[in-house]
Amino acid sequence: MFELIGISPVLLFGQVLIGLINGVFYAMMSLGVAIIFGMLRIGNFVHGAQYMLGAFGAWYLLHLPDLFPGLGLPSLGYWWALVLVPLGVGLIGALMERLFIRKVYDLEHAYGLLLTVGLAMVIEGIFNVFYGAAGQQYGVPDSLRGGVNLGFMFMPLYRIWVIVAGLVVCAATWYVIERTKLGAYLRAATENPDLVRAFGINVPRMLMLTYAFGVGLAGLAGVMAAPIYQVSPQMGQSIIITIFAVVVIGGMGSIFGAIVTGLMLGVVEGLTKAFYPQGATTVIFIIMAIVLVFRPAGLFGKETSAHQPSDIAAARPESILENGRLWLAVFAVGGSLLPFLVYPVFAMKMLCLALFASAYNLVFGYVGLLAFGHAAFYGSSAYVAAHTASAFGFPTELAILSGVAVATALGGLFGWLAIRRQGLYFAMITLALAQIVYFYAVQASWTNGEDGIQSVPRGHLFGIVDLDQPLNMYFFVLAIFLAGFAAIYRIVRSPFGQVLKSIRENEPRTTSLGYSTDRFKLLAFTLSAGLAGLAGGTKAIVFQIASLTDLYFMTSADALLMTLIGGVGTLLGPVVGAVVVVTMQKELATLGSWVIVVQGAAFVLFVLFLRKGIVGTLEDALARRAERRRRPADAPTAAPVAGDEVAAGKPR
């Protein structure tokens, strides 16, 4: 039989074994994510960093004598790590929940995801500072060395242990959550906390312990993974996106779905490596796309029509900060002077990223859709523009338009697949779909893999203007930015834009008025993708390179960070955020890997303390000042009605 399929039994069963081991880790990690989401409604993006903490915890315990030579501490091996490290990581998770996570429970789900993204950047960034990209070795424990000869292959004992132990942990966790009184209390505490409090149960403590338990599972998976994979700061990044894809396929919040889907997809990934190695990195995301077409809620998830009103951006009165015509004039005049004040390449980077952030804000700020895959549009356009200019000799303007066309088409496809879901579902789906594009670029021959497309010719604009001249190139980029900014301003001020804002504020009401909200959201998402592609294609011509960095998910995080810092749902906010982030990156460049830590800290601080961003906060201050001026000095202040103080105190 094996001769018929052209593959040796050793290779086939070996890949199935590897897939089953990966599936165990997928199941354990997905289980933690599903518990935290199902119970707390938090998309725990920091889960990958907590998995990494588990692996490093095991490594630290093993090297205690070397780390603290003067204290005479003993080396604690693998079996001690299995007990101590999950408890330690769980305690760190409990502290994290107490200081940070708890503060976003009552906010729109997007804030929880944004907060955990920032925490992940801080933790992974700190470890990257001290350990770099190099991995640390962690040996297999002596008691689990060796293996079993099955005749057709040699199966290591440690891998048998991982499979058996992982399955036992998954089964026990499912039983506790679904079949015990404690699990019933946990589910009740998230659905009706007031009723649970009436029984004398400390709900905040229960929620903290739930988060700690989910985090502890990640730490346990990290310990078990340490002897198989290298212990490195990036090990969490390499698995967390796959984990979210697994959770989406199984159904967000489904405990049983996380276990079954994790194991199944691990085996499928292993079989794909045996028969078609090039597709192994993308098969999970392709399966996710197929499942979403027929089962938008996932294989084991439940359809829900509940809609949570978005508080990402509140409706604001018109102010000078929202006067697009005024700011177009300011940008035109100020932009014309900018290359004489700063280095032109720095100014062009600022303009490209400002356009990218503004494009992202169109769908995030004005529609309320938390997308996490805009790097796919930005990067794909950069690659297409670079390739058509380099390989086919396209004129600069046509190369950029080619990139925009591809990004727009991808936006339409991704939007069609994802638009039926909302909140965290939408964010995770767009993230996973973007990974398909990333892995395609890694393997495609025309993208040159990790080298990217270099030495992209700038060419001549309309065959006349030499864009190799820095000032000529700069003013071309300025013109593109002004055109993109004007288009976004026209969109949000049009009747179409007013419908988008209505969807953001109250989608059920907008539907009741006869609008096809899914169609409006899809069109807005596609327009946003096209404008992101315009920024990406322009960037490729400016810097004469398209690389995997353009497609990496951290590029999407940068767009999110710029929008958050400037002000979500404001016209000027993304531009201000881009200026702040680009300047910060330039000024902090000497810090090396600490830049990621600073960016992550900015995420955390803005989510916790300045959710309206710089421009949004300034708009509110101007609105309050205008209100005081309109109010007569002797006018009595209206007495607050019941509940006003609560509504006024709730962060928007």
SS3 track for 328-379: HHHHHHHHHHHHHCCCHHHHHHHHHHHHHHHHHHHHHCCCCCCCCCCHHHHH
What does the DSSP assignment read for 545-614? EE-GGGTSHHHHHHHHHHHHHH-TT-SSHHHHHHHHHHHHHHHTGGGTTHHHHHHHHHHHHHHHH-TTHH
SS3 state at 11:
helix
Give the contacts of 641 (CB within 8 A, at least 6 positions apart). none
Q: What integer pLDDT is reported at residue 578 of this predicted model? A: 95
Q: Tell me the DSSP string of 449-488.
A: GGG-EES----EETTTEETTSHHHHHHHHHHHHHHHHHHH
6: alpha, beta or left? (left if phi > 0; alpha if psi -120 to 50): left
The total number of residues written for the chain in this structure: 652
Q: By C-alpha distance, which of 306, 255, 311 is closest to 37?
A: 255
pTM: 0.86
Structure letter (DSSP) for residue 277: G
pLDDT for the residue 189 = 67
For helices 375-391 and 396-418, what crossing angle results, to 10°? 150
Question: Do the Cβ atoms of 351 and 478 come closer than 8 Å?
Answer: yes
Measure the CA–CA gap between 619 and 242, rounded to whole angstroms.
Answer: 40
CA geometry: angle at 13 spanning 29 and 244, to 5°?
Answer: 20
d(CA 466, CA 479): 15
Mention every residue, 6+ apart, whose C-beta is less than 8 A from residue 239. Answer: 25, 26, 29, 48, 51
Q: Are 114 and 557 in contact (CB under 8 A)?
A: no
- Residue 303: the pLDDT is 59
Residues in a beta bridge with 231: 136
Note the pLDDT of residue 193: 67
Query: Residue 384: CB partners within 8 Å, gap ≥ 6?
Result: 399, 402, 403, 406, 407, 537
Using DSSP's 3-state secondary structure scheme, residue 156 falls into: strand
CA–CA gap between residue 222 and residue 234 (Å, rounded): 12
- pLDDT attached to residue 652: 33
Residue 110 near residue 370 (C-beta atoms within 8 A): yes
CB 27 within 8 A of CB 166: yes
Burial 291-319 (b: 16+ CB within 10 A, else e): bbeeebbbbbbeeeeeeeebbbbeebeeb
Question: Sign of the C-alpha dihedral, residues 355, 361, 367, 371?
Answer: positive
Q: What is the mean pLDDT of each run of 10 residues along the chain (652 residues)?
A: 56 80 91 84 90 96 87 88 96 95 84 89 92 85 85 80 93 89 74 70 84 94 92 88 89 85 92 84 87 83 52 59 87 93 93 96 92 95 96 94 97 91 81 91 91 93 90 95 96 93 88 91 96 97 95 90 91 94 84 84 89 88 80 54 40 36
Give the CA distances from residue 178 to residues 175, 187, 428, 433, 452, in Å, rounded to whole numbers and listed in that order.
5, 9, 25, 31, 49
Distance CA 273, CA 267 (A): 10
DSSP summary character for residue 136: B
Q: Which two tokens stand for residue 431?
A: 């993230």
- What is the spatial distance between Cα 131 and Cα 232, in angstroms, rounded to a whole number? 8
Half-sphere CA count of 624, side-chain side, radius 13 A: 6
DSSP 8-state secondary structure symbol assigned to residue 422: -
- Tell me the domains of the chain and their CATH numbers: 21-66+74-294 (1.10.3470), 320-618 (1.10.3470)
End-to-end, the C-alpha distance of the chain in Å comes to 63
Count Cβ atoms within 10 A of the Cβ of residue 405 and give its class: 0-12 exposed, 13-18 middle, 19 or more buried.
middle
